[in-house]
Amino acid sequence: MTTVNYNSSSQYSGNRPYADVVLNPSHPNAPTHKCLVDTGADYLQLPASAASTVGMSLATATNKSVTTVAGTVNLHFVSGVSVSIEGHPVTVDVLFDPTNTTMAIAGRQVLLRAFDLGFNIKEWLWT
């Protein structure tokens, strides 16, 4: 099994795990998103502006009603998106927030892919 080491050098604070996720990692302008690791979420969730930054069109995205602790929101769902989590490429489904107001979240699907790679959670807490 391959072991993936988390490269964050930030100190532990607040008991909130974060993972570095890059949307469309082959794009030259692809920024790193600090995603809150949320085991209660199903999908990777990013702001819609992240898609436009890497030249990804959401014109064919499916609108999906998602229930959160804060209520129901409508997000854009795209299947089979290339991302990297902690520097390792995976393909996952992504929800994009058209209001660009929600925080980036690494949900169950992207986490399971990371664990398949041998993701080391020992140092994944970020300040």
What per-residue string of b and e applies to 41-57 under the rule 16 or more CB within 10 Å gives b? bebbbbbbebbebbebe
**Mode of pairing for the β-strands spanning 62-68 and 71-85:** antiparallel
Please report the pLDDT score of residue 51 as a whole number: 96
Task: Answer whether 109's CB lies under 8 Å from 92's CB.
Answer: yes
- Secondary-structure class of domain 18-121 per CATH: mainly beta
Q: Where are the domains of the chain?
A: 18-121
Please report the pLDDT score of residue 69 as a whole number: 74
Q: What is the pLDDT of residues 9-43, one digit of tens each?
A: 554 456 678 889 999 989 998 999 999 988 889 99
If you count DSSP H runs as helices and E runs as strands, how many of each does the chain have, helices first?
Answer: 2, 7
Q: What is the pLDDT of residues 59-70, one digit of tens each?
A: 999 999 998 777
Alpha-carbon span 116 to 122, nearest angstrom? 16
Q: What is the pLDDT of residues 71-86, one digit of tens each?
A: 899 999 999 999 999 8
